[in-house]
Amino acid sequence: MTAELHSRRAVLAATGATAATVTLAACGSDDSGQAAPKPGGKVIALAEVPVGQAKSAKTPDGQNVIVAQPAAGSVSCFSAVCTHQGCTVNPPANGQVHCACHGSIFDALTGAVVNGPASEPLAKVTVKVENGEVVTG
């Protein structure tokens, strides 16, 4: 192999490592793969999320999320960052969340992959309902 090829590989390896670090930081993930926004902040009013549907929202620290109410009073929340290559997914529509970058489709109520290329579900974000508000933590 030539020195030029080794140099390119070194640059690509360094760039890939940096991109992976930036993607993890942007997602706010911890080692469990679960997104970790600051606890206790309001994400959305529960009344704004119809039963059986999902809505796009932001956590108090600015993380884009999908908040679902699969059954009355029950909420789930997922990072809006596609697990394929880190693009922000489109708002939920017709029970699905689409990634415009490469076509991955996720179930809006569970975050599960419906159609790839993504192979992992959207990262879960811990939320709870307090006084009619969906809050982190």
Is the pLDDT higher at 19 or at 73?
Answer: 73
- Predicted confidence at residue 115, as pLDDT, reads 83
Q: Which of 8-12, 117-121, 126-130 has the lowest mean pLDDT?
A: 8-12
Cβ-based burial of 42 (10 A; exposed 0-12, middle 13-18, buried ≥19): middle
In this structure, the number of other CB atoms found within 10 A of the CB of residue 48 comes to 13
Residue 131 in this model has a pLDDT that exceeds 50 = yes
pLDDT at 24 > cutoff 70: no
pLDDT higher than threshold 70 for residue 60: yes
Residue 39 lies in domain: 3-136
Q: What CATH number corresponds to the domain at position 87?
A: 2.102.10.10
H-run or E-run covering 4: helix 3-27
Q: How many domains does the chain have?
A: 1
- For 17, the enclosing helix (H) or strand (E) is helix 3-27
Interval 103-127 mean pLDDT: 91
* Residue 51 contacts residue 68 (beta carbons within 8 Å): no
Whole-number Cα distances in Å, 120 to 33, 45, 50, 107, 116: 10, 28, 26, 12, 9
Token pair listed for 45? 């009013």
CB-CB neighbours of 9 under 10 Å: 11
